[in-house]
Structure 1
Amino acid sequence: MIPVFDALNSIEAHSIKIYLISNGIDARVGGDYLQGAMGELPALGIVRVFVDEKDEIRAKKLIREMRDTADDDDSWIPPALR
């Protein structure tokens, strides 16, 4: 398996993994348990999403599409927190 996405955190990685699986691509998350070892420092580049080599191009395309069509509507956030 090869990495196709470097996540900011475990939640983002698992969201991408679920999206890929729902589109027929076997995906795994690696490094999410290492975040605790970093303490309060950001663990950038540690949590990754992996897929089989044969799915690399399609997975990257799906991830790009998902990020491009993400809902930027933050109206659900209370004004004091925006």
Structure 2
Amino acid sequence: MRVVYEAAHLIDAHLVRHALEDAGIPVFLRGEALIGGMGELPLFGAVQVCVPDAAWAQADGVVRELALGDPPAEPDPYAAMPPPAWLPA
């Protein structure tokens, strides 16, 4: 098994897991069982998404397509605004 993604938290890990399983890749979440034993404070970075060695290249492509580390594009606040009525067209 090889780590294809280190999740920031459990929800992040499950999102990647479901994307990989939809692509037909078997997935194992390493560290998932440890999350509940950490008390009231959340433990971040403890869950790793693992796949079989033979499926790692395909899984890496699926994870890259998810673009999880990319910040969202900033929308142009003026793009959806109509021009003012006093401005000649």
Q: 1:59 matched to which residue of 2?
A: 59
Give the count of matched residue pairs: 71
Give the TM-score of the pair, scaled to structure 2: 0.67
User: Which residue identity does 1:42 align to in structure 2?
Assistant: L
More helix by share: 1
- The CA deviation at 1:15 is 0.9
Gaps of 5+ in 2: 74-89
Q: 2:44 matched to which residue of 1?
A: 43
Structure 1 outlier segments of 4+, above 4 Å: none
Give the TM-score of the pair, scaled to structure 1: 0.72
User: Which residue identity does 2:19 align to in structure 1?
Assistant: Y
Q: What SS does the aligned partner of 1:35 have?
A: helix
Q: What SS does the aligned partner of 2:64 have?
A: helix
User: Which residue identity does 2:59 align to in structure 1?
Assistant: A
* Paired residues for 1:1-82 under 5 Å: 1-39=1-39, 40=41, 42-44=43-45, 46-67=46-67, 72=72
Percent identical residues: 29
Q: What SS does the aligned partner of 2:49 have?
A: strand
- The CA deviation at 1:29 is 1.1
Gaps of 5+ in 1: 74-82
Deviations 1:5-58 (A, max 9, x none): 1001111111101100101111121211212333315332x1011101001111
Instruction: Tell me which structure has the larger Cα radius of gyration.
Output: 2
Two-structure CA RMSD over aligned residues (Å): 2.2
